[in-house]
Copies of this chain bind each other. A is one copy, B any other.
Amino acid sequence: MKQDGRQFDSHGRLRHFLTIEGLPRQTILDILDTAESFIAMGEREIKKVPLLRGKTVVNLFFESSTRTRTTFEIAAKRLSADVININPSLSSTAKGETLLDTVRNLEAMHTDLFVVRHASSGAAYLIAGHVSEHVHIINAGDGRHAHPTQAMLDMFTIRRHKGPFENLRVAIVGDVLHSRVARSEIHALTTLGAAEVRVIAPKTLLPTAVEKLGVHPFTDMRAGLADVDVIMMLRLQRERMTGALIPSEQEYFNLYGLTAEKRAYAKPDVIVMHPGPMNRGLEIDSAVADGPNSVILPQVTNGIAVRMAIMALIMGGTPAAEARRAP
């Protein structure tokens, strides 16, 4: 999927948020800066600002995910939007309605923002190509393609805990081949100029020619973790087990599960990340997930602020400075 600038309107303003690929560095930094202003809000007594009052946000989850849906629902409600949750797999599409008919109908109801999750790569992108000017799209995960808001909250978390990306060596560990999270993280890290991005996985779970994305592949986890500042674990879909891609849960954990012993190969102040939900004892040991280097729960907290920032920016065009004053 080549990026043709569909994310920006004719005035060069961010209109949709579909992918990190091709996004200018400054746009990413604007989002991170805007999110900073929403972080404090989450700790206030009244966690609400009227930025999106009177707007209707539709969570359009063709693929069900309570966790991700909840973060967008909370983010939208804290911006005072009305939120409609729709799980179309259970409704009209079952009645034979096409994806675009569903979208055009919702749009005709004068809704303002669709948060789209879909099992097919490119679904959010397709929708963005067909909606009228006042509608905005956020990609909440499309097939194996992208999960850009997850990558943004990860970047936010890294910047908060480790400072400038130029100095950072980052390892992404696990099923890189099937992971939309990994794909978006790699684009974000390379755009932000991380010193080095490594991917660590068995050969069967690495894309062919992964080096072309600007990363260094490792099949030995200890070698790959050597001296890194950030470890980003990926969730392993248990259904991969049934195929021939990995031998057994136990063997996978032995080779690629993050344990304290393996983590010790990284820098002592390494941060450990995971997009959740975790398979404890499969891709990560509880001692590490709950240990002092883990920033897994801060990722969740940051996810609300980052999603508020993206919603506010694409719908209100709120520049970072303005948003900082807003609350």
Contacts and interface: CB of A to CB of B under 8 A. Distances in A.
A65 B91 CA distance: 6
In the A-B complex, the 3 residue pairs with the smallest Cβ-Cβ separation, listed nearest first, are A46-B54, A66-B91, A108-B300
A64 B91 contact: yes
A109 B56 contact: no
Interface string A105-117: 1101111000000
A300 B101 contact: no
Interface stretch (A11-19, A80-88, A203-211): A80-88
Contacts of A84: 70, 73-74
Contact of A109 (B48, B71, B277): B71
A65 to B, nearest CB: 7
A47 interface: yes
B301 A95 contact: no
Nearest to A281: B96
A144 interface: no
Contacts of A25: none
B277 A101 contact: yes
A132 B57 CA distance: 30
A54 B74 CA distance: 11
A180 interface: no
A110 B77 CA distance: 13
Given A46-B54, A47-B110, A74-B111, 19 more contacts: A43-B110, A44-B54, A64-B90, A64-B91, A66-B91, A67-B105, A70-B109, A71-B109, A73-B84, A74-B82, A74-B109, A78-B82, A96-B238, A97-B276, A101-B276, A102-B277, A105-B277, A108-B298, A108-B300
Contacts of A47: 54-56, 110
Copies of this protein in the assembly total 3
B301 A108 contact: yes
A109 B298 CA distance: 9
A304 B277 CA distance: 34
Nearest to A98: B280
Contacts of A92: 66-67, 277
B54 A48 contact: yes
B43 A53 contact: no
Nearest to A134: B43
Contacts of A143: none
A300 B105 contact: yes
A105 B280 contact: no
A97 B284 CA distance: 13
A45 interface: yes
A67 B48 contact: no
A103 to B, nearest CB: 11
Given A96-B277, A300-B105, A42 B90 contact: no
Contacts of A56: 47, 74, 77-78
Contacts of A87: 66
Interface in A197-220: none
A196 B74 CA distance: 48
20 contacts: A43-B110, A48-B53, A56-B77, A64-B91, A66-B88, A70-B84, A70-B106, A74-B82, A74-B109, A74-B111, A96-B238, A96-B277, A97-B277, A98-B280, A104-B297, A105-B277, A108-B297, A108-B298, A109-B303, A110-B301
